[in-house]
Amino acid sequence: MRISQRHVPRFLPIQGLATWRVPGGAVSAPAMNDPSTIRRLYGRRQGHKLRGGQQTLVDELLPTIEVPRTGALGAASLFGDDRPLALEIGFGAGEHLAAQAALYPECGFIGCEPFLNGVVGALAHIRERGLTNVRLYMGDALDVLERLPEASLERAWLLHPDPWPKARHAKRRFMNDGPIALLAAKLKPGGRFRFGTDHPVYCRWAMMAMQRATAFEWLAETAEDFLVRPPDWPETRYEAKARRLGHEVWYFQYLRRKAC
Ligand SMILES: C[S@@+](CC[C@H](N)C(=O)[O-])C[C@H]1O[C@@H](n2cnc3c(N)ncnc32)[C@H](O)[C@@H]1O
């Protein structure tokens, strides 16, 4: 059989290992195609046309709090001091990001979301709540993660990521070895990563990926720990929709181990 480019990821691990240094050792992303190697965003970039007030938010507020598109990132460059940093990947309409930022005003929050209408939602929350500790990146969270220093994040969230339920699309799922290794490298030892989903296929896939990631310890002792949303975990729009549809929702909390 002739091996075409289409077959390569399935049969031949020919790409080199991408390695991120982490405190206590190196974490290697396996040579497979996943979001950290394919570097392509799937999904919508824009929905309905923006109304006047929404366009004003994009034109006036966004430029003042936008994460630069190139160069190294850090608390000092983004917030002017060395405050603790937190990152939300795919914040949707921004309700969780804004709620966390309001809960922890002493921390700096970076939100990443490629969907323009979602960014507008976050901008509206930021303006309504008068938040000054949020920076937004309209694009791929991997672009931001790569530019952050190692061991710089206290917290990270990935809530209801696009499930890509077909097996042939599994490489598009954010919860894959490459992005998880990158996240491990950028979280501080002792830092926390929260992941939530209502999708059974994604849930199983993500649990297996996190089990392979020795840098993380799953902080669940009883079933309640992953079946009940913790009080400081504000509900997202997707979670509310999942509940309306009668879906079960699973809440995962991981600790970035001190040594791995
Ligand atoms: C199903 S929605 C969930 C939104 C939100 N977290 C919630 O729970 O309501 C998934 C979001 O992830 C965003 N997304 C997908 N890939 C991303 C990436 N590589 N970086 C940042 N955001 C991403 C999508 O644009 C979409 O808004």
Centre of ligand 1 to C-alpha 165, Å, is: 15
228 phi, psi to nearest 5 deg: -115, 130
pLDDT at 151: 98
- State the sign of the Cα–Cα–Cα–Cα dihedral 96, 142, 193, 34: positive
Q: Kindly list the structural domains of the chain, giving each domain's residue range(s) and its CATH number in brackets, ordered by start.
A: 23-256 (3.40.50.150)
Question: How high is the mean pLDDT in each 10-residue block of the chain (260 residues)?
Answer: 32 34 47 82 85 96 98 98 98 98 98 97 98 98 98 98 95 97 98 98 97 97 96 96 97 91
pTM of the model: 0.89
Centre of ligand 1 to C-alpha 238, Å, is: 10
- State the sign of the Cα–Cα–Cα–Cα dihedral 35, 100, 111, 243: positive
Q: Whose CA is nearest to atom 24 of ligand 1?
A: 90
Residue 140 Cβ inside 6 Å of ligand 1? The answer reads yes
Centre of ligand 1 to C-alpha 113, Å, is: 6
Q: Looking at ligand 1, which atom is closest to the CA of residue 95?
A: 9
pLDDT at 63: 98
Residue 66 to residues 43, 83, 101, 106, 198: CA-CA distances in angstroms?
22, 18, 16, 19, 30
Q: Whose CA is nearest to atom 18 of ligand 1?
A: 140
pLDDT at 46: 82
Which residues are identified as catalytic?
Answer: 162
Residue 108 Cβ inside 6 Å of ligand 1? The answer reads no
Residue 189 to residues 28, 183, 254, 260: CA-CA distances in angstroms?
17, 11, 11, 10
pLDDT at 42: 83
Q: Whose CA is nearest to atom 10 of ligand 1?
A: 161
